[in-house]
Amino acid sequence: MEYLVKRIKSREEITNCQRFEVNHFQWVDGPKPETYGYMGFVEGQGLYVEMYCKEANPKRDCVDPEGRFVSDKGGRVCDDSAMEIFVGFPGKEGRMTGDSLYLNFEINANGVMYAKYGEGRKNRSFLSPEIYALASPGAAVKEDYWKVHVLFPETFLKEISGVDLSKPGTELYCNFYKISETAEIEHYASFSEVGSDTPNFHLPQFFARAVVE
The pLDDT value recorded for residue 65 is: 76
Q: What is the CATH number of the domain that holds 164?
A: 2.60.40.1190
H or E segment and range at residue 78? none
Q: How many domains does the chain have?
A: 1
The pLDDT value recorded for residue 13 is: 98
pLDDT along the chain (213 residues), means of 10: 97 98 98 98 98 98 86 92 97 89 98 97 95 97 98 98 96 98 98 98 98 97
The pLDDT value recorded for residue 91 is: 83
Q: Cis ω on the peptide bond leading into residue 65 (within 30° of 0)?
A: yes
Full domain range(s) for residue 126: 2-212
The pLDDT value recorded for residue 17 is: 98
Tell me the C-alpha to C-alpha distance, in Å, between residue 134 and each of 58, 154, 155, 156, 190. Answer: 26, 10, 10, 10, 26
The pLDDT value recorded for residue 94 is: 84
The pLDDT value recorded for residue 119 is: 96
The Cα 62–Cα 205 span in angstroms is 29
3-state class (DSSP) for residue 14:
helix
The Cα 71–Cα 115 span in angstroms is 11
* Structural contact between residues 105 and 115, judged by C-beta atoms closer than 8 angstroms: yes
HEC string for 150-210:
EEEEHHHHHHHHCCCCCCCCCEEEEEEEEEECCHHHCEEEECCCCCCCCCCCCCHHHCEEE
On whether the pTM is more than 0.95, the answer is yes
The pLDDT value recorded for residue 66 is: 79
